[in-house]
A and B are shown apart, each in its own frame.
Chain A
Amino acid sequence: MTALLERPSAVKRPPRAPGVKAGKRAPYGFIAPFFVVFGIFGLFPLVYTAYVSLTGWRADQPGSEHSLVGFDNYAKLLHDQFFWNALKNTVGIGILATVPQLLLALGVAHLLNYRVRGRTFFRMGVLLPNITSVAAVTIIFTQLFGRDFGLINWVLGLFGVHHIEWQAGTASSWIAIATIVTWRWTGYNALIYLASMQAIPFELYESAALDGASKWRQFWSVTVPLLRPTILFTIVVSTIGNLQLFGEPLLFSNSQSPTNGGSQHQFQTLAVYTYDQFWQKFKYGYGAAISWALFLVIVIMVGLALTLSRRLRGVSDE
């Protein structure tokens, strides 16, 4: 995992410097502030949430924090239709928010890699969405996606599309939420791809061109394979992020109970469902079990995404 997550850099790192001698205790003094805070607020909560998930703890029932119920919460999950529904939504929206985004980012990076005037302006421009907050962006987009007065429906109307109530349908709400995520993250990923693209030696393209490879062919046969480590990195990071979507589905909902994720729960993600059970229904134990389930889903999906992207590469190489 370590090797995988170290973003490939253009420059080969020199052999690891041996470091200087220090007193026996000094180095620990330097890492202590991090590890103390991390131990209390990072590591301990992980252990504790595992414990909480084994209790029948409900905030509205005093004393229930001591009721150990074993794996009951997890057993209940398996029969909870809302859990399966949220799982479906999480994976569906997750894929919809990741795959087109990374493909788009590749395209944008390719454009940015041309020698153009105003390079810095264009790069700053594509990075801008990334500094905005989930809350602000979702609010703005929810207005843009408005049924009656939203700009998006108005534009679609020019092409004869009837007004869409984006929150109402499964597909439409998934697309809208994925659009918000894609808008915020495409530029960031494009810049990461760009950094790797610039490290590709120009000679490779020259010799490919001599062999008669078209631009398109060069892109897929030279650029993409050489970007592989970077692409894998972005797949892992995006998958982890996009399976935890919370603010977007919550604030996109225009109903009085936003934690439902739509009238039919059609865009209630697992993170929103966790919040719903924990915050609205006071079920600490059950909420903790859902968040562990989500963690498991993330691990599985990252594994799947990595396996799949390896496969795809094998096919395109032939």
Chain B
Amino acid sequence: MRRAAQRSPGVYALLTLVVLVSLFPLYWSFVGASRDNAAISKVPPTLVPGGNLLHNLKTAFTDFDMRLALFNSFTVSTIVTISVVLTSTMAGFAFAKLRFKGRNGLLIVVIATMMVPTQLGIIPLYIMMANWFHLAGSIWSLILPAATSAFGVFFMRQYLVTALPVELLDAGRVDGCSTLQLYWHQVLPVARPAMAVLGMLTFLATWNDFFWPLVAMNPQNPTVQVALSAFAGGYVTDYSLVLTGALISTLPMLVVFAAMGRQILDGITQGALKG
């Protein structure tokens, strides 16, 4: 398959087409956000950006409180990411390298929970958050359930099984390290690349999450995605403004992707994401 002779122009053409299709909707939201509603409702459609972007951004931030939404999303995503990376690395280390009773059984429990669909937890979680903990509407209703991840534990375990040599740990033991010291001085440095990938995936997933935040939060105290759905849900009929909202919500992720997308890519293509 991987032969130099196969550098045919057809392959380039098709690949370029695929990338264009992948980029186009995002480009389109940029075009829409930089124009006004009248320009969007034109036939034939305009395909180049206009000069209305700043005006639309201003409206989105003043008429609709996108600042609060962005702040909430950033806070939730950051806390969840730190928590998931730390707890997953700890548990992943234990499952990969520590001997203890019930290790295999508990690991199977972790894997089994990855199969359970999220929608099954929506109603009971809401009852718990609203009636018992009185946290509905607060960002803690988003942070607490997401603070750990079965996928994260399994992911880190899979990575550490091969990446962390037992000899290293044994040597640390000889030097008199406690398990916590082993974790700090030997596990964390080795785990860093996988922690970066898991961190990015967690941040993206939390930022983009929709179903549970829609239930748990409200339009007065929304995340970006909840605010966006309110935008689109008939409050605004101005499409250029709606597309501006979509653009605002996507931009931070594009920045993350531009900065660290390479690592996600490597994570997927090198099989580090043994789901």
Contacts and interface: CB of A to CB of B under 8 A. Distances in A.
Interface stretch (A66-74, A79-87, A120-128): A120-128
Contacts of A114: 1-2, 6-8, 11
A135 B228 contact: yes
B104 to A, nearest CB: 10
Nearest to A9: B271
A288 interface: yes
A31 B126 CA distance: 26
Interface string B245-275: 1110110011011000110110011110111
A46 interface: yes
B271 A128 contact: no
B161 A13 contact: yes
A70 to B, nearest CB: 18
Contacts of A21: 99, 173
Contacts of B87: 33-34, 37
Given A26-B179, A38-B113, A149-B45, A274 B275 contact: no
Contacts of B228: 133, 135-136, 139
Contact of A251 (B44, B117, B215, B229): B229
Contact residues on B (Cβ < 8 Å of other chain), bracket: 35 or more
Interface stretch (A95-103, A169-177, A186-194, A304-312): A186-194
Nearest to A287: B123
Interface centre among B18, B224, B249, B270 (most CB of A within 10 A): B18
A28 B235 CA distance: 51
A237 to B, nearest CB: 7
Contact of A49 (B123, B147, B162): B123
A140 B25 contact: yes
Given A139-B242, A154-B45, A271-B211, A246 B11 contact: no
B25 A233 contact: no
Interface centre among A19, A46, A240 (most CB of B within 10 A): A19
Contact of A195 (B153, B178, B264, B270): B270
A294 B23 contact: no
B90 A33 contact: yes
A20 interface: yes
Given A5-B114, A46-B120, A126-B19, A19 B97 contact: yes
Contact of A246 (B98, B123, B210): B210
B150 to A, nearest CB: 7
A19 B93 CA distance: 10
B264 A18 contact: no
B122 interface: yes
Nearest to B103: A27
B41 A149 contact: yes
Contacts of B113: 38, 42-43
Contacts of B19: 121-122, 125-126
A297 B264 CA distance: 32
B223 to A, nearest CB: 10
A128 B234 CA distance: 28
Interface string A44-62: 1110110010000000000
B96 A19 contact: yes
A197 interface: yes
Contact of A131 (B12, B239, B257, B275): B257
Contacts of A49: 120-121, 123-124
B148 interface: yes
Nearest to B273: A7
B111 interface: yes
Contact of B18 (A16, A26, A42, A111): A111
B11 A111 contact: yes
Contacts of B3: 115
Contact of B119 (A5, A108, A148, A274): A274
Interface in A285-300: 287-288, 291-292, 294-295, 298
B91 A120 contact: no
Interface string A1-25: 1100111011101101111111110
A220 interface: no
Contacts of B56: none
Contact of B11 (A13, A45, A52, A116): A116
A233 B23 CA distance: 27
A34 B90 CA distance: 9
Given A41-B144, A113-B2, A126-B22, A30 B183 contact: yes
Q: Which 3 A-B pairs have the closest CB atoms?
A: A125-B19, A27-B100, A133-B208
Given A1-B112, A133-B249, 13 more contacts: A22-B100, A22-B179, A111-B18, A114-B1, A114-B2, A124-B265, A139-B231, A140-B28, A143-B243, A149-B41, A187-B18, A198-B2, A246-B211
12 contacts: A7-B275, A17-B161, A20-B182, A27-B98, A42-B145, A116-B11, A120-B262, A125-B19, A133-B253, A139-B242, A202-B2, A295-B117
